[in-house]
Amino acid sequence: MHVIQCSNDCKPPLAQLLLSEREKENGCGSDDDDAARSGCDASRFIVGSNMGWTTNVNYTIWSQDKHFYNGDWLFFVYDRNQMNVLEVNSTDYDSCNSEHPITNWTRGAGRDVVPLNITRPYYFISGKGFCCGGMKLAVNVENPAPPPVATPSKNGAPTHRGGIVLPVVLTVGAMWETLIDLLAMGGFWA
């Protein structure tokens, strides 16, 4: 599965759709596991994986094992001279009617990004007769599950996965802030 996950500073431009190896190593690479989303806010799905948005792909099968969450993105890659990406309502999706799209996501180079920023069903088709050949995609966007809740440890203090990580991070942050304050006042080497 081609899913690109990234941190909270993700922006929709195409230049950021392909992550560098360093970004992938830092926990924002491809992953099938929804639990891995805790460190990353959005996933970008390349529609049709390596086949893209084209004929001879069953998008129902492609999407059936995926979970789409509010804030995710769909990345449509296709031949812009022949196909397009139209968001339609359920009735037009079922009948492959491209006459009154909700949104025409066809923006230019055949590399179009669609933000899934509302929790609801989305329906996409390609007009020009391609929908009847199977170029249609329906996804249901959900809100992500809430993060895990801290549980009390044996001594009554709340802990989180990794238990010691959060207190260490907070301590290092407080020490760093104190060092910055000292440097700003000139009192560190004085």
Identify the CATH number of the domain in which residue 42 sits.
2.60.40.420
Same domain, 162 and 101: no
Highest mean pLDDT: which range of 3-12, 26-35, 147-156: 147-156
Q: What pLDDT does residue 32 have? A: 40
Q: What pLDDT does residue 153 have? A: 64
Same domain, 103 and 176: no
Same domain, 125 and 163: no
Helix ranges restricted to H, the chain: 21-23, 59-63, 90-95, 165-185
Same domain, 83 and 170: no
Mean pLDDT in residue range 172-177 = 57
b/e map 74-106, b = 16+ CB within 10 Å: bbbbbebeebbbbbbeeebbeebbbeebeeebb
Residue 29 forms part of a structural domain: yes
Highest mean pLDDT: which range of 17-21, 142-146, 163-167: 142-146
Residue 115 forms part of a structural domain: yes
Same domain, 116 and 78: yes
Same domain, 31 and 93: yes
Residue 19 forms part of a structural domain: yes
Same domain, 159 and 137: no
Residue 52 forms part of a structural domain: yes
Same domain, 110 and 164: no
Residue 190 forms part of a structural domain: no
Same domain, 126 and 108: yes
The Cα–Cα gap between 140 and 114 comes to: 14
* pLDDT at residue 165 greater than cutoff 80: no
Identify the DSSP state of 129.
Answer: T
Same domain, 129 and 178: no
Split at pLDDT 50, 70, 90, the class of 162 is low
Is the distance from CB of 150 to CB of 157 less than 8 angstroms? no
Residue 54 forms part of a structural domain: yes
Mean pLDDT in residue range 12-16 = 38
The Cα–Cα gap between 67 and 56 comes to: 23
Identify the DSSP state of 127.
Answer: T
Q: Which of the pair, 109 or 169, is modelled with greater confidence?
A: 109
The Cα–Cα gap between 68 and 64 comes to: 10
How crowded is residue 38: how many other Cβ atoms within 10 Å of its Cβ? Answer: 13
Mean pLDDT in residue range 119-143 = 95
Domain range for residue 180?
A: 151-185
Percent of the chain with pLDDT over 70: 58
Same domain, 169 and 88: no
Taken as a whole, the chain contains a residue count of 190
* pLDDT at residue 156 greater than cutoff 70: no
Q: What pLDDT does residue 10 have? A: 43
Total domains in the fold of the chain: 2
CA of 80: how far to CAs of 56, 74, 107, in Å? 17, 16, 9
Percent of the chain with pLDDT over 90: 51
Radius of gyration of the chain (CA): 22
Q: What pLDDT does residue 151 have? A: 72
Is the distance from CB of 5 to CB of 67 less than 8 angstroms? no
* pLDDT at residue 141 greater than cutoff 60: yes
Same domain, 48 and 65: yes
